[in-house]
Amino acid sequence: MSGLDFLTTRLETALGWGRKFSLFHYPFITACCGMEYMSAACAHFDIDRFGAGLTRFSPRQADLLLVVGTVTHKLAPVLRTVYDQMLEPKWVIAFGACAVSGGIYQNYAVVQGIDRIVPVDVYIPGCPPRPEMVLDGLLKLQDKIQHQKQDWRWGTKP
């Protein structure tokens, strides 16, 4: 025997560890950033190395919402519906300048940042952000998930 016959951890740590490496993401792709999302997801940069490779096209199966690209006022209700359909625990990444703040489109048509519609965990700036930045943002989110305090009152709304 190697001497490592037992392992101790805390439930919270184990849960965070499990969650951060098994993110099922729903890409809410609307615009230019989608191209960089495709790059990040494919072989060169490979988001799968960080445990977020499984793309789910149903919000009900996803726990990470990637808002990729410009969200216009016309699209805003759709984004909110998608967010509401996701099950807890769920996280949101604002991908690209438009999702973060409206970006260069400061006009009548564009929502000035998706945090006006849904809560955001990680903001990835850039127009569009490079795939390396996307991976960095993902690592930041994983860090956040790892250190998240679990709500032990599941099933009851605080």
Partner 1 sequence: METPRIQRDARPESMLINMGPSHPAMHGTIRIMLELDAERILNAEVEVGYLHRGFEKTCENKTFFNLLPYTDRLNYVSPLINNLGYAMTMEKMLGVGVPERAQLIRVLMSELSRVSDHLTCLAAMAMECGAFTVFLYMMKAREFLWDTIEFTAGARMTTSYIRIGGVRADLHPDWRGSLATAVRETRKVLKDVSGLLDENSIFLGRTRGVGVISKEDALSYGWTGPCLRSTGIPYDVRKASPYLVYDRLAFEVPVGEFGDNYDRYSVRMREMGQSLRLLEQVAALIPDAAPLTGSLGLEPAEAIRRSRRQRPDERVHLSPNLEGSEKERLGGLMTSDGRVGVPPKEDTYTTMEGLIGHFLFFMSGKGIRPPKGDVYFSVEGGNGEVGFYIVSDGTDRPYRLHLRAPCFHIVAALEQLIKGRLIADVIPTFGSMNMIGGELDR
Interface with partner 1 (CB under 8 A): 28-32, 34-36, 38-39, 42-44, 57, 59, 69-70, 72, 74-75, 78-79, 81-82, 104-105, 107-110, 127-128, 130
Token representation of residue 100: 């973060």
Closest distance to partner 1 from the beta carbon of 138 (Å): 18
Closest approach of Cβ 51 to partner 1, in Å? 19
CB 70 within 8 A of CB 31: yes
Distance of closest approach, residue 45 Cβ to partner 1, in angstroms = 8
Closer CB to partner 1, 108 or 154, in the complex:
108
Give the Cβ contact number of residue 96 at 10 Å.
30
Could you identify the residue written with the tokens 């969200």?
71
Q: Which residues pair with 64 in a beta bridge?
A: 25, 91
Min CB(17)–partner 1 separation in Å: 29
Nearest to partner 1 of 16, 128 (CB atom): 128
